[in-house]
Amino acid sequence: MEAIIKLENVNFYYDKGKPTEVHALKDVNLEIKAGEYISFFGPSGCGKSTLLYIIAGVERPDSGKVIVNGQDLMKFSSRELAIYRQIGIGIIFQNFNLIPSIKNFDNVTLPMAFLGISPKKREQRASEIMARLGVAELMDRYPFELSGGQQQRVSIARSLANNPPVILADEPIGNLDSVNANNVLDILKEFNQRDGKSIIMVTHEAWSLKDVNKIFYMRDGAITKIEEKGEKMAVKKVGAGYYHKNLFPELPVIEARAKVMASLILRGYSQEEIKRLEYFLSHYLRNQIDKETFRMVLDRPYKEGGVGLWKQRAKKIADYMENIIKEEKELEVLYKKLERDPETPLYEEVEKIQRWLLGDFTMKITPLQARRLNEIVMERIRNIILPEHFQKILNLPKDEGGVGLKIRTSLKITEKLETLLGREGGIEAITKTANA
Ligand code: ADP
Ligand code: MG
């Protein structure tokens, strides 16, 4: 399908030639097709809003092309540009941008008035769209009389007044609490899926990407990665089935799991010892032996049929397995809740997982670090971010939005979480040993 918006090698500077010059967009190339719901995603200051303004025709690139429906936006006459802005796109802002001195109804009809649509038609269309967004009864009030969530719905109504095929949303949920934020995301999803609107949403919050089809990751003015999402990415369980399907399709799940865990736990030990552990582990995972027996056979000399580990090591592994089985059960419960309601907050559950994750480490973390860790644990559980993103954010400095942990610690924590989630988590060692 033909792209409705296409950018070719777009560069943009603020204060070009001055000491304060900022190279805000660097060689940006992208294509957006009709009906797509895409996002520009990245940390604050990476150029998301600038990119949106370029697409909106508010800013002109210093070099490169912006092509709208096959035509060069730079070559539009001022009249064509005005029409594009009035009926080609609708914009939603983080701070709603409603005109405070006029009523909500007039805020919604204004874009139609600019187009010269008759008052009667304006009224009819504004009523319709406001009713659909659940703000019809707020028509005669002023923006300041409304909650943030209500203001955002009025502003969405305004952006849709002229029925544009494309909606541009700049951090539309940035000023909303989670209930209203979810409500706005549902509205965007509906206008995308039911009305076929193309949507470009700018965000720095990974969880808000749950409904988008395609993510343009941005950093320092450049697009660093493009990720396409399948039909449904709301709650994709990562769960233990992964081993089964991906690593050992021929084995039953528990067998596959025991194989992977054994080589992970006894990394560096001989194949014989790993095989033994695998054998007892599968019994323990099946509940055929209890923890004490499991500990004993780990400790028993190899010649006598055990794994032949030191006492301390045997105890550590038994404790570790006991914990992970417990966490897995909790994770099961958590996924059940998520399946029922993908937006369940799950603070307590995530808190527990976080405590377990940090259990082996002595370092103290600040409340800010704890909050970020909680956020990304949740995002990882919802499978919104990949193991490598999780690890990167753990390691990223605090002032760049990361958790600020040392690289070794962040690798270990990622590995621990992935063990629980049942994925190899990019640890080649597992696949290597497993295939040996
Ligand atoms: P984002 O929306 O991702 O937070 P922006 O597009 O707003 O990022 O900003 C990209 C870069 O351009 C940042 O370094 C920002 O400081 C700079 N910038 C944004 N607006 C202006 C402006 N009006 N004048 C100068 N620099 C700006
Ligand atoms: Mg911005």
Alpha helix (H) ranges present in 286-366? 291-299, 311-340, 347-358
Structural domain including 110 reads 3-233
Q: How far apart are the first and last CA of the chain?
A: 46
Place 400 in a pLDDT band, splitting at 50, 70 and 90.
confident
Output the CA 388–ligand 2 centroid distance in Å: 25
Q: Which residues have CB less than 5 Å away from ligand 2 (the ion)?
A: 49
Question: Model pTM greater than 0.85?
Answer: no
Q: For residue 93, give every residue at least 6 positions away whose Cβ sits within 8 Å of its Cβ, in sequence order, or none.
A: 155, 170, 171, 172
Query: What is the C-alpha to C-alpha distance for residues 177 and 345, in angstroms, rounded to an integer?
Result: 12
386 pLDDT band (50/70/90 cuts)? Answer: confident
Whether 99 and 186 map to the same domain: the answer is yes
Could you give the number of structural domains in the chain? 3
Number of H helices, E strands in the chain: 16, 10
Asked if the model's pLDDT at residue 431 lies above 60, the reply is: no
pLDDT at 204 over 60: yes
Last residue within a domain, chosen from 200, 233, 266 = 233
Element (H, E) at 228: strand 222-228
Ligand 1 centroid to residue 51 C-alpha, Å: 10
Q: For 251-294, what is each residue's pLDDT tens digit?
A: 777 787 788 778 777 877 888 888 999 999 999 988 889 999 99
pLDDT digits (tens, 9 = 90+) for 8-67: 999 999 999 999 999 999 999 999 999 999 999 998 899 999 999 999 999 999 999 999
Higher pLDDT, 363 or 386: 363
Q: Examine the fold and report which residue of 233, 268, 287 is the final residue of a domain before the chain moves on.
A: 233
At 207-228, the pLDDT tens digits run 888 889 999 999 999 999 998 8
Of 182, 206, 205, 220, give the one whose Cα is nearest residue 47. 220
Is 211 found in the same domain as 103? yes
Q: Are residues 208 and 260 in the same domain?
A: no
Round to whole Å and give the CA distance between 244 and 405.
32
Same domain, 384 and 398: yes
Mutate to test the pocket of ligand 1, among 15, 46, 171, 224 (most ligand atoms within 8 A of CB): 46
Same domain, yes or no: 351 and 338: no
Distance CA 375, CA 17 (A): 40
Q: Which of 233, 259, 289 is the last residue of a domain?
A: 233
Residue 429 CA, ligand 1 centroid: distance in Å:
43
pLDDT confidence bin for 230, thresholds 50/70/90: low
Atom number of ligand 1 nearest to Cα 53: 6
Please check whether residue 353 is in contact with residue 330, taking contact to mean a CB–CB distance below 8 angstroms. yes
Are both 352 and 337 inside the same structural domain? no
Residue 430 has pLDDT above 60, yes or no: no
Let me know: does 415 contact 427? Beta carbons within 8 Å.
yes
